Amino acid sequence: MAIAKAERLMNLALCLLGTRRPLSKRELRESIEAYLEAGSDDSFNRMFERDKDDLRELGLVIETVENLDGEVGYLARRDSNRLPPITLDAEEAAALGLAAKVWQQARLAGAASGALQKLRAAGLPEGVDPYEAHGALEPRIPVHEAAFEPLMLACRDRRPVTFDYRKATAARPEPRQVEPWALECWRGHWYLAGWDRDRGAERVFRLSRITGKVRARNGAYTAAVPDVVTVRETVAGWAGDIADRTALIRLRSGSGYPLRAKSASVRELGDGWDELEIPYGHGLDAWLVEFGPDVVVLEPAELRADVVDRLRAVAKG
């Protein structure tokens, strides 16, 4: 939902909840700035009817009545739109308190602080620190990529985006058209899962490899959003955490410590080289390329060929 529409819906809801008598469409149009700028009566009527339907879909009970002037009026009675009492046990309140305080970015701090105050009013006891209820470690979700916020909003609003993306093995970024599904943090890095329109397939993108601005686009999604988006499982597969095969590589002595940490065995070959046996899954070829001349793949042959192809692509770029 665009920010302008969200503000318009909020203003309409406040007018309908704040009135003591039914308000006609004419009165609502004069009270809400966005309706005054709607242009023709037909444009306003279409906008108003859509907004009214959207508010009802969100759960607001809007009554339609005849007012004293014979016009149709609208209002949302407070007693019909009052939420039931919120009851939280100690663990639920503490968990939600942690969620509200986990963000350390300034743009999200205000919303998190307000949410925490509402949680306290709903049952989180004063003087009880949610950190103490769940151990001494204070959680943080660091976000350094400028792409995070526009992508978070695009996931929420179901809006397609475009951005330039540089793969690990590419010299230059390429434009991507993506229908974003979900963002997830894994091992300190943020990833976006979505539908890549150009490739006609699901893809996962690392935010730190997005260059330039993320631009939102109008229009509906062309692919169905899955009920479960497995970002971490996909990235774990790239990293070899979901291993179903074994690779044999030569690694220069004193280098490639992440590879050594994942190896099943290490054998010294002499002349400054070691031989490693590494369990792996999808994506090991892209990871090995990052170590450049310090790695030589011995087997399997398919993995060796994939690494060579990637290195040649980088050299040509």
pLDDT along the chain (317 residues), means of 10: 72 88 88 84 89 88 80 86 70 65 53 58 52 49 76 91 85 91 78 91 89 91 85 62 79 87 89 90 76 91 87 75
Cis bond upstream, residue 300 (ω within 30) = yes
Distance separating the N- and C-terminal Cα atoms of the chain: 40
Residues of each domain in the chain carrying CATH 1.10.10: 3-75
Which tokens sit at 271?
């002349």
What does the pLDDT look like over 140-150, one tens digit per residue? 555 677 888 89
Which 3 state secondary structure label does DSSP give 158?
coil
The pLDDT value recorded for residue 269 is 92
What does the pLDDT look like over 231-283, one tens digit per residue? 767 666 555 555 678 899 999 998 888 888 888 899 999 999 999 998 877 66
Nearest CA among 161, 141, 140, 143 for reference residue 151 = 161
- In CATH, what is the architecture of 148-232? Roll (2.30)
- Is this prediction's pTM over 0.75? no
The pLDDT value recorded for residue 177 is 96
| Cα–Cα distance, 285 to 298 (Å, whole number) | 12
Class of domain 245-316: alpha beta
Which 3 state secondary structure label does DSSP give 7?
helix
Query: H or E stretch including 137?
Result: none
Residues of each domain in the chain carrying CATH 2.30.30: 148-232
* R_g (Cα) of the chain, nearest Å: 27
| Cα–Cα distance, 79 to 194 (Å, whole number) | 41
CB contact at 8 A, 15 and 31: yes
Nearest CA among 145, 149, 150 for reference residue 209 = 145
The pLDDT value recorded for residue 257 is 82
List the Cα angle 292/251/165 in 5-degree steps: 30
The pLDDT value recorded for residue 133 is 47
Half-sphere exposure of 264 (CA within 13 A, CB side): 12
Q: Which fold has domain 3-75?
A: Arc Repressor Mutant, subunit A (1.10.10)
- CA-to-CA dists, residue 169 to 131, 172, 183, 268, angstroms: 42, 9, 23, 29
Q: Which residues pair with 277 in a beta bridge?
A: 248, 265
